[in-house]
Amino acid sequence: LKKLRDLPVIIELFFNGSCYADKGHSEKMQSILDAFPDIARFQTPRIFKENLLDQLISNPFPLEKIHLLFADLSLRQEILDFYKEEDFWDVTSAFRGNLELTSKTAKKGNAILKLAQILDIKPEETMAIGDSFNDLDMLNAVGFSVAMGNAEPEVKEIADFITKSNDEDGVAYAIEKFAF
C-alpha cells in the first residue's frame, strides 16, 4: 500500500462487510473516474474514512479484499507482476482494469468445495458458472464448469460448457440444462 498510495490508482479496502476508501484520495479517485468513465461502472459504493491507509499501515486490521482500479494498464501490469512475485496475496481480476487481492485461502473454489462438504455433496457433483478472470479458480475447482457466452476467452477455454450470454439468461439456461 505504501507503493500504491501515490500512484494513479483507486484503492478500495473491504472489511466488516463494506467497501472503504481513504478520504484524502477522493480527488485523485474522481480525476481517474473523470478521465476514464468506463471504470466508473465497476465502482462499488464506498465509505470514506480519514487517514485509512495510514491506519492500516501502522496498525493492520483484518481485510477481506483490496480492490485496485487502474486507468493505466501498463501500471496495472507492473503492480500485478509485483504482487505475483511477492506471492503473499491471491491476485486476480474481474476485468482488465482492476486487480483484486485477497488471502490465498479466500478463493471462490475453496468456498464452493467447503459448502459442498457441509451439504455432503461430492466435489465432482458441483457446478459453477463464471465469466471473468476472478472465476478461473472456481471453475477449475468444481466438477463441471460453465462459461457465460459473454465470458473472457480464457474462461471459455477451460469450461466444460459455454452457455448463453447474460442478456440471454445464460445462468438460468445452464442450471435448467445441468442441475435438474
Looking at residue 43, its amino acid is Q
Cell representation of residue 125: 457433483
Across the beta sheet with 47-49, the strand order is: 47-49, 18-22, 9-15, 65-70, 98-102, 90-92
Q: Say whether pTM exceeds 0.85.
A: no
d(CA 95, CA 39): 10
Instruction: For residue range 73-125, list pLDDT tens digits in order.
Output: 899 999 999 988 887 888 888 877 889 998 888 889 999 999 999 999 999 99
d(CA 142, CA 60): 34
Instruction: For residue range 121-167, list pLDDT tens digits in order.
Output: 999 999 999 999 889 999 999 999 999 999 999 999 999 999 999 99
pLDDT computed for residue 144 by the predictor: 97
* Helices of type H across 59-107: 73-86
Cell representation of residue 75: 501500471
